[in-house]
């Protein structure tokens, strides 16, 4: 695969990837892409038959010169909310950064005020449906509150998707059945086979939690979820050497065709900070991850990873399926988090006083609270780093995770792990699109298909 940058009077700067007779065009300023033939690409840049070509470019979102370049267009339209229900947890994971307390749950009157704010917001701005992720601690320890949230919003005439990420330990057969009946979307945290999982995901009694986590997954599947239960895996410095084993365990033992992988970066508050991955480790992780997934799919094993799938959407369907990886960080704009203290925060990583957007006690509605902070709050005023303006992936990334940039006091720099991932994964995916497009369908379980 060859790569070159072409500058055009109409399209501005475009990156072009070439392989044989195929060409993949990317306009960095708009994130627009086009899979085409080399001959049609030559037509475009030679301005031949433009009356035929322009509708194609327009349909793919290409911006012609004269339109003001804007890296990311952000509008305040939250549809996804996280509610921190408890600091209680039945695990003691070594990489956890949360301050846990077995007796600390959200006060009932605070939860009621949060629900009033949500209902008021939805009705005032005619929002038909929202998504809510229950947060903790272990959210299922606040199962009654989760049911109450759903019942209250439905009673108010609001469609709501409830999401839960659980360690699986608290799942019972009756709870799993009730979750399925309620249509709650569920993921279980499993870090791989027992010898890996049990290194870091410990029960309160310091014993490994793998058996309980897999048991919870099994109960959810038996309740009716079948293979529609997600799995979230955390990769640490100690588990990184076993990455291939982890992936194949999910595929062959747990019969998964998709998993969400998160890497541990050293974070203030972690119980064991030695588990965090260095920049070199993160590079190794993404190189191993994408190469192994490609090889598995070449061998007919359908398997994908959530972040990589979101990146594939960026390059193909242009659907913004991720708050983090599709249009730059969308926290505070498309997503908001309610803390146990009644505070309103941009995301679940920013529940500290100096990053609070407002409070449920405010007489303002949610949109007014957030909108009033757009010119003063550090999260809202952070700029795309100047170095990013020469990056071909800037539309999708816009400097990466804002929370990490703020928490690490590196506001003028992009988030390094995001840069590493983009530079490794996007070229590999484009090479697949050009040369082995049938693998894209396998990697996404048929969600994305590329036809010639």
For every residue of 173-230, DSSP letters joined together read: HHHHHHHHHHT-EEEEE--SSHHHHHHH-BBTTS-B-HHHHHHHHHHHIIIIITT--E
Residue 326's SS3 state is coil
Of 312, 343, 326, which is closest to residue 72 (Cα–Cα)?
Answer: 326
Element (H, E) at 337: strand 335-338
pLDDT value at residue 212? 98
* d(C-alpha 294, C-alpha 272), whole Å: 33
pLDDT value at residue 389? 87
Of 244, 358, 262, which is closest to residue 303 (Cα–Cα)?
Answer: 244
* d(C-alpha 246, C-alpha 141), whole Å: 28
Please tell me the pTM assigned to this model: 0.94
Q: Is 74 left (phi over 0), alpha (psi -120 to 50) or beta?
A: beta
Question: Domain spans of the chain?
Answer: 2-70, 73-452
pLDDT value at residue 70? 45
CA within 13 Å, CB half, 1: 19
Of 374, 418, 376, which is closest to residue 398 (Cα–Cα)?
Answer: 418
**CATH class of the 73-452 domain in this structure:** alpha beta
In order along its 452 residues, the chain shows pLDDT tens digits of 898 888 887 788 899 999 999 999 999 989 999 999 999 999 888 888 888 888 888 888 888 765 444 444 567 889 999 999 999 999 999 998 888 888 899 999 999 999 999 999 999 999 999 999 999 999 999 999 999 999 999 999 999 999 999 999 999 999 999 999 999 999 999 999 999 999 999 999 999 999 999 999 999 999 999 999 999 999 999 999 999 999 999 999 999 999 999 999 876 666 777 899 999 999 999 999 999 999 999 999 999 999 999 999 999 999 999 999 999 999 999 999 999 999 999 998 877 888 899 999 999 999 999 988 888 999 889 999 999 988 999 999 999 999 889 888 888 899 899 999 999 999 999 999 999 999 999 999 999 999 86
Contact yes or no for 293/439 (Cβ under 8 A): no
pLDDT value at residue 452? 63
- String of DSSP letters for 361-405: TSSS-HHHHHHTTTTT-HHHHPPPPGGGGG-TTHHHHTTS-HHHH
Contact yes or no for 435/298 (Cβ under 8 A): no
Burial class (CB in 10 A: 0-12, 13-18, 19+), 163: middle
**Angle in degrees, 0-180, between the axes of helices 108-124 and 143-155, rounded to the nearest 10:** 30
pLDDT value at residue 65? 63
């Amino acid at each position: 695969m060859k790569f070159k940058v072409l500058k055009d009077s109409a399209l501005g700067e475009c990156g072009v990837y070439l392989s044989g007779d195929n060409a993949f065009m990317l306009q960095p300023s708009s994130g627009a892409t086009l899979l085409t033939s080399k001959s049609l690409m030559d037509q475009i840049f030679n301005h031949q038959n433009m009356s035929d070509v322009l509708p194609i470019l327009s349909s793919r979102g290409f911006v012609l010169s004269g339109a003001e370049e804007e890296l990311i267009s952000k509008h305040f339209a939250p549809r996804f909310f996280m509610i921190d229900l408890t600091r209680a947890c039945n695990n003691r994971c070594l990489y956890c950064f949360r301050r846990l307390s077995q007796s600390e749950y959200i006060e009932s009157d605070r939860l009621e005020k949060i629900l009033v704010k949500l209902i008021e917001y939805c009705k005032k701005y005619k929002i038909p449906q929202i998504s809510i992720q229950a947060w903790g601690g272990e959210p299922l320890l606040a199962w009654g509150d989760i049911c109450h949230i759903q019942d209250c919003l439905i009673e108010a005439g609001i469609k709501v998707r409830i999401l839960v990420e659980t360690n699986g330990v608290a799942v019972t057969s009756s709870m799993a059945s009730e979750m399925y009946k309620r249509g709650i979307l569920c993921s279980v945290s499993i870090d791989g086979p027992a010898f890996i999982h049990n290194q870091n995901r410990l029960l309160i009694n310091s014993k490994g939690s793998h058996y309980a986590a897999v048991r919870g997954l099994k109960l959810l599947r038996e309740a009716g979820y079948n293979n529609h239960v997600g799995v979230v895996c955390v990769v640490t410095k100690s588990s990184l050497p076993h990455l291939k084993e982890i992936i194949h365990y999910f595929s062959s033992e747990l019969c998964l065709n998709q998993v969400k992988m998160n890497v541990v970066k050293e974070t203030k508050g972690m119980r064991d900070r030695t588990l965090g991955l260095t920049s070199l480790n993160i590079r190794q992780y993404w190189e191993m991850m994408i190469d192994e997934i490609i090889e598995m799919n070449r061998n007919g094993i359908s398997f994908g990873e959530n972040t990589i799938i979101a990146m594939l959407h960026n390059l193909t369907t242009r659907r913004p399926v991720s708050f983090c990886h599709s249009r730059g960080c969308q926290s505070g704009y498309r997503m908001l988090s309610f803390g146990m203290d009644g505070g309103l925060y941009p995301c679940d990583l920013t529940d500290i006083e100096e990053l609070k957007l407002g409070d449920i006690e405010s007489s303002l509605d949610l949109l007014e609270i957030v909108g009033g902070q757009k010119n003063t709050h550090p999260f809202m005023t952070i700029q795309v780093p100047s170095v990013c303006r020469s990056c071909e992936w800037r539309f999708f990334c816009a400097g990466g995770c804002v929370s990490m940039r703020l928490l690490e006091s590196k506001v003028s720099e992009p988030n390094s792990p995001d840069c590493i991932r983009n530079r490794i994964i996007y070229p590999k995916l484009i090479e697949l699109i050009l040369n082995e497009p049938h693998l894209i369908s396998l990697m996404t379980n048929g969600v994305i298909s590329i036809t010639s």
